[in-house]
Structure 1
Amino acid sequence: MTIRSLAFALTLVLAAGAARAADTAPVKAADGWLRVLPGSLPAGGYVTFENTSDRALSIVSAQSGDYADAMIHRSSTEGGMGRMEMVDSVPLPPKATVAFAPGGYHVMLMQPKHSVKPGDTVTVTFTLSDGETLPVKLLARPANANGPKD
């Protein structure tokens, strides 16, 4: 077997292993979208996470190459007053789904590095408590959007 054949065979084995690992990732993301506000105002990112594993995990941080800063926040209403607070982590219980949605958890994206307009796609990479990272594509939607498809 030549070195070229050996290198090709090794590449195929590694690619197959990477594909299998991606299929068995413990956390999956779906329906990612981003509410874009005018100018350089912060954008809110929303996505549904599914922890398919038998162990508890948490989302501990987020970052995006399209924004200078990304923070995980939770919106809530207490006594008729709306509030928003930054959180250190979001629990992902085993075999459960957790939604980042308007009025609850979301990723706050601040200081866009370029113009982001409805129809664009932004990638946010979430870091999990086990050190794994999960890149998620968010579809930019207008300021009046309430979901990924409305």
Structure 2
Amino acid sequence: MRDNLLRRGPRHTLVALTLAGALTTLGLAGCGSTTPAPAAPAAATLSIRDPWVKAAAAGEMTAAFGTLVNDTDAAITVTAAESPASPMELHEMSMKDGKMVMQPKQGGFTIEARGTHELGPGGDHLMLMKPVKAIEPGDALTFTLRTATGGTVTFTAIAKPFAGANESYDPGHMAPMESAAP
């Protein structure tokens, strides 16, 4: 065919090659799968439900609370928390020598697959070590949680007054745990 086109002249060769290219392009497009590419799965996430912060004076240790919610099919470990309001640590309450003490949470908070983890007064919490200014009721504070896999979750929590379990977040001090119910 090529020799036949060359004998007819450059004009016929150009038309034939252009037509061949177009047919090849259409043919290749037609050879592709007609099944659409699978959609990316919906993003599975870690979130926090009902976040709040205990109001406190400037420089006074306080904490943030809420419920960590893992919507993934694998456990997630929160290894750190950050806030522009204060340096932070992950803390837990535990029994030591017969009394309740607050201490850094070694290894972080693990939220099982499709599970939740409660952060609350008298239990695990996000510790604001030394707020740079007073945290007044109604203030909105921004937090970022860091996970063991390098992911981050940012959320906002509203400050509220809370006497609750009469806990104290002063270093080395823990008031006896009492019920807030009458």
TM-score band (shorter)? Answer: 0.7 to 0.9
Scaled by the length of structure 2, the TM-score of the pair is 0.62
Mind listing any 5+ residue stretches in structure 2 that lack a counterpart?
1-39, 166-182
Post-superposition shift, 1:113? 2.4
Post-superposition shift, 1:32? 0.3
Post-superposition shift, 1:72? 0.2
Return the alpha-carbon distance in structure 2 between the equivalents of residues 37 and 116 of structure 1: 5
36, 42, 52: which is aligned to 1:33?
52
**Cα RMSD between the aligned structures?**
2.1
Post-superposition shift, 1:143? 3.7
Q: Which amino acid aligns with 1:129?
A: A
Instruction: Check the 8 A contact 1:58/1:91 in 2, yes or no.
Output: yes
Larger Rg: 2
Q: 2:88 is matched with which residue?
A: 70
Scaled by the length of structure 1, the TM-score of the pair is 0.75
Q: Greater strand share, 1 or 2?
A: 1
Return the alpha-carbon distance in structure 2 between the equivalents of residues 118 and 25 of structure 1: 33
Return the alpha-carbon distance in structure 1 between the equivalents of residues 97 and 51 of structure 2: 30
Residues 1:102 and 2:121 aligned together: yes
Query: Percent same amino acid at aligned positions?
Result: 25
Return the alpha-carbon distance in structure 2 between the equivalents of residues 89 and 112 of structure 1: 21
Return the alpha-carbon distance in structure 2 between the equivalents of residues 123 and 111 of structure 1: 15
Post-superposition shift, 1:137? 1.1
> Which shifted more, 73-82 or 57-66?
73-82
Instruction: Check the 8 A contact 2:52/2:158 in 1, yes or no.
Output: yes
Q: 1:58 is matched with which residue?
A: 77
Greater RCO structure (CA 8 Å; 6+ sep): 1
Mind listing any 5+ residue stretches in structure 1 that lack a counterpart?
1-19
Post-superposition shift, 1:81? 0.7
Post-superposition shift, 1:79? 5.9
Aligned length: 125
Instruction: Check the 8 A contact 2:89/2:126 in 1, yes or no.
Output: yes
Return the alpha-carbon distance in structure 2 between the equivalents of residues 86 and 79 of structure 1: 17
Q: 2:13 is matched with which residue?
A: none
